[in-house]
A and B are shown apart, each in its own frame.
Chain A
Amino acid sequence: MSVDAIVIEHVIVMVLLTLLIVVAVGIIILNDLLTAVILSGLYSLLSATVFVAMDAVDVALTEAAVGAGISTIILLGTLSFTKRVQKPQEHNNYAALIIVVMTGGALIYGTLDLPSYGDPNSPANSHPQLAQHYLTESQKEIDIPNVVTSVLASYRGYDTLGETAVVFTAAIGVLSLLGLRRRRRKEDPLLTDKQQRKQQNEDN
């Protein structure tokens, strides 16, 4: 690849990140919660594209399965148990805006010392015992063509074990909060005809 190819890749990542900013601002502005959930699905779609453009294909796979699939569905499940409409807020929260702008300014000041995007000689990419070791030795030591898999399952296997423990704890927490109980069905006169018919069908 030549220099032009590098520029093209950088520009594609920049455009996709800008689109992500637009979607995030849309989520801030719009008041309907269902709209926010739909837009967060769009956000996950775009974010997986960003991961593909940043060469992180495994992350993109996980984001596709987890971000676009599971998050949307559990958010919708929550909305079906709670209200759908957000209460409109009267005032803009200027204190929050000031805090956010100050934090962002501090972070932007911090980025000025970072290595530029895609720098092959940055400390993270050229460390001889981490990245370079994984890239050069893992084929001999573990013999899996996908380096991410070998790092995930072997070099950093305890990380994965801890992750599994966290997910297990979260599952226990969700189950103990929501339980396996069934919601009692109310005989509500306001049910629409269609739902009543569904109910009758189920009773028969």
Chain B
Amino acid sequence: MLLIDIISGVFIFIGCLFVFGGAVGLVRMPDFYTRLHAASVTDTGGLLFISIGLILQAAFVFDNPMAAIKIALTIVFLFFTAPTASHAVAKAALMANIIPQCQNGKSVVDESLTALYKDKDKDLSSVLMPVDPPEIISNFANAEADNKDKST
């Protein structure tokens, strides 16, 4: 009994770390997509670990196998639904022209990407490739030049 308590306690502790870290990330992250990343990944992981701990407790300590089966079903359903919901949120946000940002607040992706993504007739293979590094550098150079112009 003690062994089971220790094992499930370790699982629940790991899950608590995941869940709490995800919640902190949801508040602290600067951008929608980073928040999405923080929330969805840690929710799924935290749920998995906590549920494993609860299953161990239900099956061995509480002697209630039905509850263990129900928690296992919860894991199965949430592993289908939670990533789907996260994907749907991300897709809807991309459709609504919310653009991923990088450190200095400048857009990583060209705004034309989202416009092209909506237009399904065009060939997306060229767009979905990452933008050429020289182009990004030139974008940043332009942005810095703009900033200097504004400051002067």
Residues of chain A at the chain B interface (Cβ within 8 Å) = 193-194, 197
Interface size on B, residues (CB 8 A): 3
Residues of B that sit less than 8 Å from A by CB: 118-120
Give Cα A194–Cα B121 distance, bound, in whole angstroms. Answer: 11
A26 to B120, CA, bound (A): 39
CB-CB nearest 4 A-B residue pairs: A194-B118, A193-B118, A193-B119, A197-B120
Name the residue on B nearest A197 (C-beta).
Answer: B120
Closest-CB distance, B95 to chain A (whole angstroms): 8
Inside 8 A of B119's CB, which chain A residues have their CB?
193
In Å, the complex CA distance between A194 and B119 comes to 8
Nearest CB of chain A from residue B109's CB, rounded to whole Å: 19
Complex Cα distance A197/B120, Å?
10
* CB contacts between A and B, total, < 8 Å: 4
* A195-B111 Cα distance, complex, nearest whole Å: 21
Residues of A with C-beta under 8 A to B118 = 193-194
Q: Inside 8 A of A197's CB, which chain B residues have their CB?
A: 120
CB distance from A2 to the nearest CB of B (A): 19
- State A194–B94 Cα separation when bound (angstroms): 14
A194 to B114, CA, bound (A): 13
User: How distant is A78 from chain B, measured CB to nearest CB, in Å?
Assistant: 20
Cα distance A197–B118 in the bound complex, in angstroms: 11
CB distance from B56 to the nearest CB of A (A): 22
Given the complex, which residues of B lie within 8 Å of A193, measured CB to CB?
A: 118-119
List the A residue with the shortest CB-CB distance to B95. A194
Q: Bound state CA distance, A194 and B92, in angstroms?
A: 13
A166 to B132, CA, bound (A): 65
Residue of B nearest to A192 (CB): B118
Alpha-carbon separation in the docked complex, A44 to B30 (Å): 28
- Tell me which residues across on chain B come within 8 A of A194, comparing CB atoms: 118
List 4 interface pairs A-B (beta carbons < 8 Å), by A numbering.
A193-B118, A193-B119, A194-B118, A197-B120
A193 CA / B120 CA spacing, docked (Å): 10
Q: How far is the CA of A193 from the CA of B118 in the complex (A)?
A: 9
Q: How far is the CB of A41 from chain B (nearest CB, A)?
A: 13
A194–B120 CA distance with the chains assembled, in angstroms? 9
For the complex, give the distance between the alpha carbons of A193 and B116 in Å.
12
CB-CB nearest in chain B for A194: B118
Measured CB to CB, the closest approach of chain B to A42, in angstroms, equals 14
A19 to B80, CA, bound (A): 29
Q: How far is the CA of A193 from the CA of B119 in the complex (A)?
A: 8
Q: Output the least CB separation between A145 and chain B (Å).
A: 14
Q: How far is the CB of A39 from chain B (nearest CB, A)?
A: 16
Report chain A residues within 8 Å CB of B120. Answer: 197
Give, as a whole number of angstroms, the nearest-CB distance from B115 to chain A: 10
Q: A74 to B17, alpha carbons, bound, how many Å? A: 37
Q: What's the minimum C-beta distance from B142 to chain A, rounded to whole angstroms?
A: 30
Bound-state CA distance A99–B119 (Å) is 54
B121: min CB distance to chain A, Å: 9
Q: How far is the CB of A202 from chain B (nearest CB, A)?
A: 16
In the assembled complex, the Cα of A197 lies from the Cα of B119 at a distance in Å of 10
Docked complex Cα distance between A70 and B56 (Å): 34
- Alpha-carbon distance A194/B115, docked complex (angstroms): 11
B123 → A minimal CB distance (Å): 17
